[in-house]
Amino acid sequence: MKVLLISANTVRTPYYVYPLGLDYVTAALSSRHIVRIADINIMKGMDPLISIINDFVPDVIGLSLRNIDNVDSHDTKSFIPIYRNLVEAIRRHSTAAIVLGGSGFTIFPKKLMDILKADYGIIGEGERLSLLLDAIETGGNAAAIPGVITGASSEAVPAPLDTEFHRKFDGGAHAHYYIARGGMLNLQTKRGCCYTCIYCTYPFIEGAEFRLIPADEVADTALALERAGAKYFFITDSVFNGSYQHSAEVARAFKKKGLSIPWGAFFAPTKPPDDYYRVMHDAGMTHAEFGTESLSGPMLAAYRKPFSINDVFAAHAAALDAGLYAAHYILLGGPGENRDTLDETLRNAERLEKTVIFFFCGIRIYPNTRIYDIALKEGQISKSDDLLEPVFYQSRSISSEEIYRIVADLAKGKENWFIGTGGSRAARLISRLHKQGHTGPLWEHMIR
Ligand code: B12
Ligand code: SF4
């Protein structure tokens, strides 16, 4: 069969993100299929896509839906209209079966099937497209494949793959588009997350257990990114240090194989083993992005974070001692947030030295999370709300507007405190620096 895989993502802030998921989907498809990738980010308007469709005449078109909205409680942008236009244009020029997939799709499968009138969807890992193609070819029962949803079938919980998964990275023109715009590519070392933070979709999207990619295989892929011209890569794992042992093995494999480009990852600020961050730094790591979320004891407990305030300071100090840049993400306004917990977080944030802090004022409520159940119980949402249009949790004791005002006031004059990812001002700055040849996420320039 001829399969056209389209990355529908057009978001370029905080920076361009290479559509990693499609490398995995492609790798899983049998060589008897002819597969092409089209990336909407690279195209000017719809005409180039229509030309590809007319030339290639695909039997199946897979659409990767990564982002649903920008998750900004004060300036919400939905990407659904872009996807709707895209599907309408495809339908005008092709009779191919349309299959939806991707992390955004996985959070809202049924609703997106309804809106986009697709033929099939794959909830969770898209490697199962291989089984779906077999079913389409042979007239088999597609709806019986785990994770596959059809217009008629009901929503299912994504069952994590019980097979290995591999990446097919060819380093061609597609990768070069991203390399030319900031030099950044991305890398996965494992899937899943075993923690249970109340607001988080990642265990639902990727599974609740870590599934590790062998360290040597990860390092070989990292080398392939470097050879293709990447100047930096970001590790997309939910939490890189979720397994201290595996992440250290990966870092050692980078070093052993002679990787020379810098890289960064998301970390949980749990108390690290001795020398952990030195091992990371020795292997070329430069940026640690900590998912700290709060610096108030009661709020860390309410969010079910697997660390304490002391752990945060210990992890921060260890990262700095090792010579790394450290940033913290803070999520304000969850269940139990009040003026005291907010003040505690802000006071402690002021004590974090040599860092950049990104404050998010308002937690988006996603289905299949604990905060969804809390919001339901509190009457903030009802079972019929589909939440595709973002709804942000409201603490009973302090409004998100008040939180925003207090943080914005305090952030004035602090060059290293940002609301959200810094909005269009930060995005313009990053884009300018990337054009000047700087590489990486660039927040190190704001460290104070
Ligand atoms: C890493 C990450 C980032 C990093 C990316 C760094 C980098 N250089 O790659 C950073 C921090 C920059 C980032 C930024 C943003 N992110 Co982000 N990010 C993630 C994260 C944790 C992993 C994404 C990833 O690469 N996964 C690994 C790859 C291999 O998996 P995958 O792409 O999902 O593909 C698999 C399946 O989805 C499926 N699949 C994919 N495509 C297709 C296509 C077909 C046809 C099929 C069948 C299947 C399929 O198969 C693949 C293999 O199994 C996800 C959460 C998560 N755990 O998924 C959020 C996530 C995608 N991000 C999200 C958001 C919102 C954003 C931002 C918009 C936030 C913001 N306001 O700045 C920006 C957008 C950036 C951009 N330019 O697009 C949301 C999207 C949901 C939503 N509400 O829209 C997610 C889901 C997190 C969440 N809140 O739940 N992000
Ligand atoms: S917030 Fe991080 S540590 Fe917590 S469940 Fe999500 S990915 Fe795991």
CB 360 near ligand 1, within 6 Å: no
Nearest ligand to the C-alpha of residue 29? 1
CB 266 near ligand 1, within 6 Å: no
Q: What is the pTM of this model?
A: 0.97
Residue bearing the CA closest to ligand 2, atom 7 = 238
Counting residues of the chain whose pLDDT is more than 90, the rounded percentage is: 90
- Could you tell which of 16, 67, 70, 221 is best to mutate to test the pocket of ligand 1, judged by most ligand atoms within 8 Å of the CB? 67
CB 234 near ligand 1, within 6 Å: yes
Structural domains of the chain, ranges and CATH numbers in brackets? 2-150 (3.40.50.280), 173-446 (3.20.20.70)
Pocket (CB within 6 angstroms of ligand 2): 193, 195, 197, 200, 202-203, 238-239, 268, 291
The answer to whether residue 27 scores a pLDDT higher than 90 is: yes
Q: What is the mean pLDDT of residues 230-255?
A: 98
Q: Are strands 263-267 and 232-235 parallel, antiparallel or unpaired?
A: parallel
Nearest ligand to the C-alpha of residue 203? 2
Rounded to 5°, the CA angle 344-348-353 comes to: 165
Q: What is the mean pLDDT of residues 408-413?
A: 94
Q: Which atom of ligand 2 is nearest to the CA of 201?
A: 6
Measured between alpha carbons, how far is 365 from 359 in angstroms, rounded to an integer?
Answer: 17
- Could you tell which of 5, 7, 10, 17 is best to mutate to test the pocket of ligand 1, judged by most ligand atoms within 8 Å of the CB? 17
Band of residue 158 on the pLDDT scale cut at 50, 70, 90: confident
Band of residue 227 on the pLDDT scale cut at 50, 70, 90: very high
Handedness of CA 244, 286, 21, 370 (dihedral sign): positive
pLDDT (tens digit per residue) in 336-394? 999 999 999 999 999 999 999 999 999 999 999 999 999 999 999 999 999 999 999 99
- Helix H or strand E segment including 55: helix 47-56
Q: Which atom of ligand 1 is nearest to the CA of 289?
A: 11
| pLDDT for residue 155 | 66
Measured between alpha carbons, how far is 295 from 330 in angstroms, rounded to an integer?
Answer: 8
- Could you tell which of 35, 66, 266 is best to mutate to test the pocket of ligand 1, judged by most ligand atoms within 8 Å of the CB? 66
Q: Are strands 148-150 and 120-122 parallel, antiparallel or unpaired?
A: antiparallel
* 359, 419 contact by CB (below 8 A): yes
Band of residue 173 on the pLDDT scale cut at 50, 70, 90: confident
Could you tell me which residues come within 8 angstroms of residue 203 by beta carbon, excluding any fewer than 6 positions away?
A: 192, 193, 194, 195, 196, 238
pLDDT (tens digit per residue) in 185-211? 999 999 999 999 999 999 999 999 999
